[in-house]
């Protein structure tokens, strides 16, 4: 083993036989790393009308960088290879070079010499059947077979052909350390065999996802890929983690994420059983299940503008259940940022009015959590200023007249104007409060971008009056109003694409009385089951198109989902709404915004 040749420059070499003994795993992991330069050199040699003719593993040696010592190789060539020889003789010697090279390649891949059959020099067993060779590119194995298993009369492929058929250089999973010359280096565990695919010899299953069931007709897939019907399809090893194969279907739920490969064998349907079994790779990519990737990081509650990640409130003193809950969306939880939504619900027993307000801070506005918070707070204050006492209540008088009026007309000016004044003013004051906050904090109004929906409701002898005001997305609507009533109360602002909406803090939104009136709606209904006010974190997943906002059945379906939680919370009388909070955590792929929902439910079944 101490066959290191010291050259004048102090260079050290390792021969192929030494490599085989000292660092076989390096050879095995990437046999072409050393054998490719040899093949290319031999190709040039043969093209020049020469040959080596007497290759031994001692003739082939490499330096520390893996560079072939060409001079040495030339100096050890058979004398016959150096002088011009008769063509047949030359061809024979060139063939020998190819056989030697291919034999070393075989040995590197399988760990043993090729088993020779009785028919003189040919493989008695295909390299494809050698379990040790399963990790190698099919092209590489085909190259070996083309030399060693070509049949007694077939011509040996030239190095020109062989070099052109080799797979490209690969990148090992772990770098092989250079100092393989030092025999005392402890062998590391073999690097993972590289996974490579030959485009023509690979079939792919459609990608899967962990825990999502699949069912694929494998013979049908192979028929498509090969262009001809197939039969006798088997997999080796048995298949992929989590899946079973019954001869036709690959099915089950993948249990692991990753890239997987097995060898699939098959025959063409019109071939007899004596015909060769064909093989190709079957690859399968399994994605992790996104549900398992979502992180839940607590937000920094020491931040000056921190807000709890979850909040809820239930008004215990109102005759009818009035409650709201707001939870941080998964997008924010994934990065530990704050909930940007907010809400306020109030009942004034002195005047009998209910108010439900929700606000959604824009994701890209850095203080929008504060924007939604201040908006809800100020709206609540302004409404309380008028509605907490009959003396200051501007709404009930005009509203009563209209409710007693049997003509089915839209709300007349005398009714709309007080609502315009109150709700429009509340929104305006909220905006002013945000401007003041921005100025105090050295921020801009844009940093506080928030939507706002505010709904007032009061029961009268003949039914309910409901008035809504909205800026931005999210919706308010009625469940269970009499047939023919449009359930939708508000007109959401949207754009061509998702996420495009407007905000309380946008300049022109409250600029004219027309623009304010356009956002106001006043309706009277004899009765309804529930009034729902929500941010788009709830309306987006639960309504599949704008058209559904006007479909009473869609609202009913949503209510059916929510009702049990509302009943539970209203009976518990704790002042909070934990069941509704829990409902708001429903899973909906692609919908990970903050979610806020306020509910007024005059027709909850009593215990």
Interface residue list for another protein (CB under 8 A)? 199, 204, 206-207, 209, 285, 287-288, 290-291, 293-294, 330-331, 334-335, 362-365, 449, 494-501, 503, 540-548, 551, 553-554, 557-558, 587-593
Chain-centroid distance of CA 543 in Å reads 23
Give whichever of 307 and 449 is closer to another protein, judged by the CB atom: 449
Q: How far is the CB of 299 from another protein (least distance, A)?
A: 15
Which one, 374 or 423, has the nearer CB to another protein? Answer: 374
State the minimum distance, in angstroms, from the CB of residue 285 to another protein.
7
Are the C-beta atoms of residues 278 and 269 closer than 8 Å to each other?
no
Report how far residue 516's alpha carbon sits from residue 416's, in angstroms, rounded to the nearest whole number.
11
Angle CA(351)–CA(514)–CA(453) in degrees, nearest 5? 50
Answer yes or no: are the C-beta atoms of 46 and 158 closer than 8 Å. Answer: yes
Sign of CA dihedral 263, 268, 269, 273: negative
- The CB-of-457 to another protein minimum distance in angstroms stands at 24
Q: How far is the CB of 593 from another protein (least distance, A)?
A: 8
* N-to-C CA span, the chain: 91
Q: What is d(CA 297, CA 62) in angstroms, rounded to the nearest whole number?
A: 54
CB of 499 to another protein, least distance (A): 3
**Closest separation in Å from C-beta 236 to another protein:** 23
Nearest residue (CB) to another protein, 280 versus 542: 542
**Is the CB of 67 or the CB of 498 nearer to another protein?**
498
**Pick 253 or 331: Cβ nearer another protein:** 331
Q: Are 232 and 278 in contact (CB under 8 A)?
A: no
**What is the smallest separation between the CB atom of 490 and another protein, expressed in angstroms?**
16
Measured CA distances, 550 to 313, 358, 478, 482, 495 (Å):
28, 20, 10, 14, 19
Minimum Å gap between C-beta 467 and another protein is: 26
The DSSP letter of residue 63 is -
Residue 217 and residue 215: Cα distance in Å, rounded?
Answer: 7
Q: How far apart are CA 313 and CA 318, in angstroms?
A: 13
To the nearest whole angstrom, how small is the minimum distance from the Cβ of residue 568 to another protein? 22
Smaller CB distance to another protein: residue 120 or 168?
Answer: 168
> How far apart are the C-alpha atoms of 60 and 54, rounded to whole Å?
11
CA distances from 172 to 181, 183, 262 (A): 19, 22, 20
- Taking the CB of residue 28, how many other CB atoms lie within 10 A of it? 20
> To the nearest whole angstrom, how small is the minimum distance from the Cβ of residue 373 to another protein?
17
Compute the least distance from the CB of residue 364 to another protein, in Å: 4
CB of 375 to another protein, least distance (A): 15
Query: What's the distance, CA 290 to chain centroid?
Result: 6
Supply φ then ψ for residue 241, to 5 degrees.
-55, 125
Tell me whether residue 298 or residue 553 sits nearer to another protein (CB atom): 553
Query: Of 470, 466, 501, which is closest to residue 480 (Cα–Cα)?
Result: 466
User: Which residue's CB is nearer to another protein, number 111 or number 541?
Assistant: 541
Q: Please list the helix, strand and coil fractions of the chain in percent, rounded to the nearest 5, in that order.
A: 35, 20, 45
> Is the Cβ of residue 48 or residue 553 nearer to another protein in the bound state?
553
Cβ-proximal residues to 301 (8 Å cutoff; 6+ apart), any chain: 308
Nearest CB to another protein, comparing residues 364 and 389: 364
Q: Contact 229/268 with Cβ under 8 angstroms?
A: yes
Q: What is the smallest separation between the CB atom of 153 and another protein, expressed in angstroms? A: 36
Instruction: Give the integer Cα–Cα distance in Å for 232 and 266.
Output: 5
How far is residue 513 from each of residues 304, 359, 411, 466, measured CA to CA in Å?
A: 36, 22, 17, 21
Give the nearer residue to another protein in terms of CB position, either 248 or 364. Answer: 364
The nearer residue to another protein, 422 or 558, going by C-beta atoms, is 558
Q: How far is CA 311 from CA 120, 322, 452, 575, 581, in A?
A: 83, 15, 18, 11, 8
Report the C-alpha gap between 200 and 203 in whole angstroms: 8
Which is closer to another protein, CB of 16 or CB of 558? 558
């Amino acid at each position: 083993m101490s066959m290191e040749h010291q050259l004048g420059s102090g260079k050290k070499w390792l021969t192929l036989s030494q490599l085989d003994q000292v660092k076989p795993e390096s050879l095995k992991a990437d046999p072409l790393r050393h054998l490719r330069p040899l093949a290319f050199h031999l190709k040039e040699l043969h093209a020049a009308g020469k040959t080596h003719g007497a290759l031994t593993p001692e003739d082939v040696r490499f330096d520390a960088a893996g560079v072939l010592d060409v001079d040495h190789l030339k100096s050890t060539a058979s004398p016959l290879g150096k002088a011009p020889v008769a063509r047949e003789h030359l061809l024979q010697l060139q063939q020998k070079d190819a056989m030697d090279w291919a034999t070393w390649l075989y040995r590197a891949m399988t760990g043993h010499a090729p088993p020779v059959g009785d028919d003189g020099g040919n493989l008695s067993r295909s390299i494809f059947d050698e379990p040790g060779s399963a990790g190698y590119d099919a092209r590489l194995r085909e190259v070996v077979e083309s030399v060693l298993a070509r049949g007694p009369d077939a011509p040996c492929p030239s190095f020109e052909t062989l070099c052109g058929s080799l797979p490209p250089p690969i990148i090992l999973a772990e770098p092989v350390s250079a100092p393989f010359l030092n025999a005392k280096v402890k062998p590391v565990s073999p690097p993972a065999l590289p996974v490579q695919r030959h485009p023509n010899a690979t079939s792919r299953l459609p990608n899967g996802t962990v825990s999502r069931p699949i069912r694929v007709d494998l013979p049908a897939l192979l028929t498509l890929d090969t262009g001809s019907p197939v039969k006798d399809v088997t997999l080796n090893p048995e298949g992929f983690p989590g899946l079973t194969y019954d001869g036709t279907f690959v099915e089950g739920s993948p249990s692991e994420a990753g890239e997987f490969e097995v060898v699939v064998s098959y025959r063409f349907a019109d071939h007899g059983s004596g015909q060769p079994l064909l093989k190709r790779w079957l690859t399968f990519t399994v994605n992790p299940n996104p549900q398992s990737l979502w992180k839940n990081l607590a937000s920094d509650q020491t931040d000056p503008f921190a807000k709890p990640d979850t909040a809820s409130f239930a008004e215990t003193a109102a005759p009818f259940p009035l409650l709201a809950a707001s939870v941080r969306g998964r997008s924010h939880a994934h990065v530990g940022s704050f909930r940007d939504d907010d809400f306020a619900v109030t009942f004034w027993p002195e005047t009998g009015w209910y108010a439900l307000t929700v606000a959604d801070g824009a994701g890209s506005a850095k203080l929008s959590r504060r924007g939604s918070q201040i908006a809800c707070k100020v709206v609540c204050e302004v409404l309380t200023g008028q509605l907490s006492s009959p003396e200051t209540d501007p709404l009930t008088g005009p509203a009563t007249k209209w409710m007693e009026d049997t003509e089915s007309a839209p709300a007349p000016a005398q009714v709309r104007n007080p609502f315009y004044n109150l709700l429009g003013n509340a929104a305006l004051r909220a905006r002013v409060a945000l401007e003041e906050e921005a100025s105090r904090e050295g921020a801009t109004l844009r940093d506080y971008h928030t939507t706002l929906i505010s709904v007032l409701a009061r029961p009268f002898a003949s039914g309910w009056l409901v008035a809504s005001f909205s800026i931005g997305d999210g919706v308010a609507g009625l469940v269970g109003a009499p047939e023919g009533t449009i359930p939708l109360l508000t007109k959401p602002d949207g754009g061509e694409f998702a996420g495009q909406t407007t905000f309380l803090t946008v300049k022109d939104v409250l600029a004219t009385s027309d623009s304010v009136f356009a956002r106001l709606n006043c309706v009277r209904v004899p009765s309804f089951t529930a009034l729902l006010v929500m941010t788009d974190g709830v309306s987006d997943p639960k309504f599949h198109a704008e058209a559904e906002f006007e479909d009473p059945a869609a609202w009913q379906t949503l209510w059916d989902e929510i009702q049990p939680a509302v009943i539970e919370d209203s009976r518990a009388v704790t002042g909070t709404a934990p069941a509704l909070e829990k409902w708001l955590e429903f899973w909906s792929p692609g919908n990970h915004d903050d979610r806020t929902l306020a509910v007024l439910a005059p027709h909850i079944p009593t215990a």
